[in-house]
Structure 1
Amino acid sequence: MTPSPDRKRLHVITWGCQMNVYDSGRMADVLAPLGYAPAETADGADMVILNTCHIRDKAAEKVFSELGRLRRLKEATGNRMILAVAGCVAQAEGAEILARAPYVDIVLGPQTYHRLPEMVARASRAGASRAGASRAGGVVIETDFPVEDKFDHLPDSARPQGVTAFLTIQEGCDKFCSFCVVPYTRGAEQSRPAAAILREARHLVAQGAREITLLGQNVNAWHGEAPDGSSWGLGRLLRELADIPDLPRLRYATSHPRDMDDDLIAAHRDVPALMPFLHLPVQSGSDRILEAMNRKHSAADYRRIVDRLRDARPDLALSSDFIVGHPGETEADFEATMTLVRQVDFALAYSFKYSPRPGTPAAGAPLQVREADKDRRLQALQALLREQQARFAQACVGLTLPVLFTGPGRHSGQIVGRSPFLHPVHLSGHADLIGNESMVRIVTAHPNSLAGTLVQERLIA
């Protein structure tokens, strides 16, 4: 079949969180009416978008390193390739990108990608006037927070994501943790209306999604307008989503302990579709450091929330985030974190050394912790967390669990699925099970996955 002359190749490179994955897909949706179709690589692409994350250490330098590689690919196209930088680094470092990478055509923040068609048109006009030039110039930059809600201007139908899908329901953050750039790069907390979320969820299910993860910087802060004009919280939204036919699984991330209200805790008890796995970041077990972080909860508050959640759903598995070496952290503060980890017992966790983020209060705080101390503490924390993760996985051996099959495995005749606790599960099985939930007996625990045997096929059609 001869390709359409209007067909263009779009390659999106995504770094960072699940919300960036969702945003990358929606940017592709916005550009599809312009003739852009996905390309597996950047080589020879008509447009490349680097969707960035500003959370981790040296994020900006990693972006500029990647841009150096992409510059060579752009030059190989005679500078016809449109090169865009999106996401949180673009929002925070737009001026620096203009200064250090003038060959970039578009710089856009995470709240403006609904304007991409207009940006591409402007960049294309500028590119036509400088065809063959070695230096781009005329960069299109969109990093102001727009008055309009981007979700109101996105296509109604997102492209298929597969058996598991992401759905952003909330963006931005009003918490202003001392270490975090999100309030500055994503803006204030905003909640999408319930009707729009339900409509997108039904569309994803019609395209084959059987598990939807609701996303937000503070997803459990979601309070959206209901179809009748009232306001719902996340617990009510989950109940409504659970009524969608052929949607047996729901998850949400990332949560804040301050927004874990009574109705949401009750939803963990009352909504079978809500999977028994919750990512609930605590960051530290020291009240002194939690106060310095501006978390506005104590370690005891966190433990009480965990106890209430486990009372509501006894099989609940917990995941969390930890930062070691926040300015002012002493050995006693770190030991308080280790104590909390031992008390709560996590199935999974993510832990990092504190790294200063420009413009955040902690970046200029006194009593910065030595790198050697951060390294030592992180190694000790990660050793404990790995031990807990392995123990939880081993406790699954011998259980019969519902597994949602998501795709073929690495080996011939193998398929891979997802347990209720977010473990990858692989076993021998035929491909027509993909998209179905089946009962699987877990026989082996590996460091990052489980292996099992099929017991009962097709719990869902």
Structure 2
Amino acid sequence: MGPQHPVTSAAKVYFHTFGCKANQYDTELLRAQMVAGGGVAVDDPKAADLCLVNSCSVTAKADQECRQFVRRLLRENARARIIVTGCYATHAPEDLRALSPRVEAYSNAEKAALPACVGFEAAPEVWGLSRFTHRARAFVKIQDGCKAPCRYCIIPQTRPTYWSKPVEQVVEEVRRLVEGGHGEIVFTGIRLGLYRGRSESGRSADLTGLLRRLADLPGRFRIRLSSLEVTETPDRLIALAAETDRVCPHFHIPLQSASDRVLADMGRWYRYADYRDRVRAIRERLPHAAITADVLTGFPTEDEAAYDETFRRIEGMALSGLHAFPYSPRPGTTAAGLKPWPAAVLKERTRRLVDLSEKLKADFRARFVGTERTALAEDDGRGWTDNYIRVRVPAGAMEGLVKARVGDTEDA
């Protein structure tokens, strides 16, 4: 645990988040806790007494961006304490502390007690949110922790402890957020599909059971699932999404590679046929569903033949978009010692996948042009449909769920 320094009453705190939706939720919860303890959230880091940075460490680039940002804070504010938490602060706290004596690093395990650690000793317990700052949609972290055997990933070392939010707390938090005006609630976690929340009766609920509990909750809102592993998309979850419009027909399922050899080398626990069959199962029940994927390209054992196989198989799977990113060695992982591909190879492979993603998105949009779907209106006059198509919303629409027509482009 880091050193404690009591803060003055009404200390001004600036918050910044890198990385995943779980991190974004954690930051928002820290904001609520520190404000409840007497702090004042500010948008200008130059005006802050404390600058809190919630870090990511999924790639070397994420580490670099965090260091650069901390250096900028040190330059722009000569007196503030710089508090860094999150996965980078867990994985390599010494890198951050070496930047300046003003930089304090706190691990993910210390995050729950962070308000007290940095001096908000009287902060009351805040276990959930009623508002999500500056957003039409709100995130709710219902699960944390991962112990997957992926050879390239540092996250099982930075978030190794499984945790699920109790069922009644999830229901109450969703109720508050809906009453606060949020029309879309995004459930997030590190392994969302491993959610096993306890109820007051002592029973355990999985993700599908939790969603059924929320199906009858009053209010006009929908729930989007952030990311699910292919082995954590059971038929009963797909059936529930087909039965109710309360659950968005959008499944983001990491693929990483469509080469069985590369999947095995990565330490992934499924094969291409498993992924293909799940996509088909979703399409059979929900032909209008968005199915998007993460693809990690340039893993050291991914030769040209394996890359081409992945590319061809993705082309034939009727996905609706990709998040493609290049492999980045992470110190402390078992893949870190493998010989990496040259940067030019990584760049070209990623570019081709990004281009493919744009085509997949355009093809998916084309199926719905001229149709009307429910979209979440945002303050820029645009929104996302239930099946994750970017659209313009009717002029004058308030933030919330509205009917919108799908155009040829997101500006149409």
**TM-score relative to the length of structure 1:** 0.82
* CA apart distance, 1:157: 4.2
Q: Which amino acid aligns with 1:183?
A: P
Question: 1:418 offset after TM fit, Å?
Answer: 2.2
When the two chains are superposed, the root-mean-square deviation of aligned CA atoms in Å is: 2.1
Matched, 1:389 2:388: no
Q: In the alignment, is residue 119 of structure 1 matched against residue 117 of structure 2?
A: yes
Q: Which moved more, 1:225-234 or 1:19-28?
A: 225-234
Structure 1, unpaired ranges of 5+: 124-151, 410-414, 452-461
C-alpha contact (below 8 Å) 1:14/1:20 kept by paired residues:
yes
Partner Cα distance (2:155, 2:266) in 1? 14
State the match for 1:103 in structure 2. Answer: 102
Structure possessing the higher relative contact order (Cα contacts under 8 Å, 6 or more residues apart): 2
Structure 1 residues 272-421: aligned runs within 5 Å: 272-365=245-338, 367-407=339-379, 409=380, 415-421=381-387
Q: Which runs of 4+ in 1 moved over 4 A?
A: none
Aligned residue runs from structure 1 range 150-169, under 5 A = 154-161=126-133, 162-169=135-142
Q: 1:291 to 1:438 in 2, by over 3 A?
A: same
Letter in 2 for 1:58: K
Counterpart of 1:36 (choices 33, 36, 39) is 39
1:23: which partner in 2? 26
Tell me: CA distance 1:163–1:385, structure 2 relative to 1, closer, same or farther (3 Å).
Answer: closer
Select 1:209's aligned residue among 182, 204, 213: 182
Residues 1:185 and 2:183 aligned together: no
Query: What percentage of residue pairs aligned between the two structures are identical?
Result: 29
Contact 1:239 1:271 in 2 (8 A): no
Query: Following TM superposition, by how much is the alpha carbon of 1:428 offset from its aligned partner in structure 2, in angstroms?
Result: 4.7
Aligned match of 2:143: 170
2:84 matched residue in structure 1: 85
- Given the alignment of the two structures, is residue 94 of structure 1 paired with residue 93 of structure 2, yes or no? yes
Q: CA deviation at 1:167?
A: 0.2
Aligned residue type for 1:170: Q
The answer as to whether partners of 2:182 and 2:400 remain within 8 angstroms in 1 is: no
Q: Name structure 2 gaps, 5 residues minimum.
A: 1-7
Q: Secondary structure at the match of 2:293?
A: strand
- Per the alignment, in what secondary structure is the counterpart of residue 364 of structure 1? coil
Could you say what secondary structure the match of 1:27 adopts? Answer: helix
Paired residues for 1:441-456 under 5 Å: 441-445=405-409, 449-451=410-412
Change (3 A) 1:58 1:440: closer
Question: Structure 2 length as normaliser, TM-score?
Answer: 0.92
How many residue pairs end up in the alignment? 402
Cα deviations by residue, 1:370-420 (Å, 9 ceiling, x for unpaired): 32322222222222221111222233321111222232x2xxxxx322211
Q: Distance in 2 between matches of 1:391 and 1:276?
A: 17
Distance 1:300 1:84 in 2: 45
Deviates more, 1:88-97 or 1:52-61: 52-61
Q: What SS is found at the alignment partner of 1:201?
A: helix
Tell me the amino acid that sits aligned with residue 85 of structure 1.
V
Q: CA–CA distance in 2 between the matches of 1:111 and 1:351?
A: 30
Partner of 1:252: 225
* Conserved 8 A contact 1:30-1:116: no
Which residue pairs with 1:262 in the alignment? 235
CA distance in 2, matches of 1:61, 1:417: 32
Inter-partner Cα distance in structure 2 for 1:34 and 1:82: 18
CA 1:228–1:247 in 2, change beyond 3 Å: closer, same or farther? farther
Query: 1:272 & 1:428 partners in 2: Cα distance?
Result: 21
Counterpart of 1:222 (choices 172, 195, 201) is: 195
Q: 1:426 maps to what in 2? A: 392
TM-fit CA distance, 1:205: 1.2
* Preserved CA contact (<8 Å) 2:54 2:85: yes
Q: Which amino acid aligns with 1:303?
A: R
Return 318-327 or 35-44, whichever deviates more: 35-44
Task: Answer whether contact 1:12 1:49 (CA < 8 A) is retained.
Answer: yes
Is the CA contact (8 Å cut-off) linking 2:81 and 2:102 kept in structure 1? no
| Candidates 181, 200, 217, aligned match of 2:173 | 200
Structure 1 residues 374 and 237: alpha-carbon distance in aligned structure 2, compared to 1, 3 A threshold: same
Distance 1:313 1:428 in 2: 27
Whether the aligned pair in 2 keeps the contact of 1:402 and 1:439 (CA below 8 Å) is: yes
CA deviation vs aligned residue, 1:17-55 (integer Å, no higher than 9, x gap): 111111110110110123222211101212111111111
CA contact (8 A) 2:290 2:388 kept: no
SS at match of 2:316: helix
2:215 partner letter:
A
In the TM superposition, residue 313 of structure 1 has moved relative to its aligned partner by 1.2
> Hey, what's the Cα distance between the residues in 2 that align with 1:354 and 1:153?
40
CA–CA separation in structure 1 for the residues paired with 2:15 and 2:93? 19
- Give distance in 2, aligned partners of 1:157 and 1:54: 26
Larger Rg: 1
The code of the aligned residue for 1:86 comes to: T
Q: Is the 2:183–2:221 Cα contact (8 Å) retained in structure 1?
A: yes
The CA deviation at 1:282 is 0.5
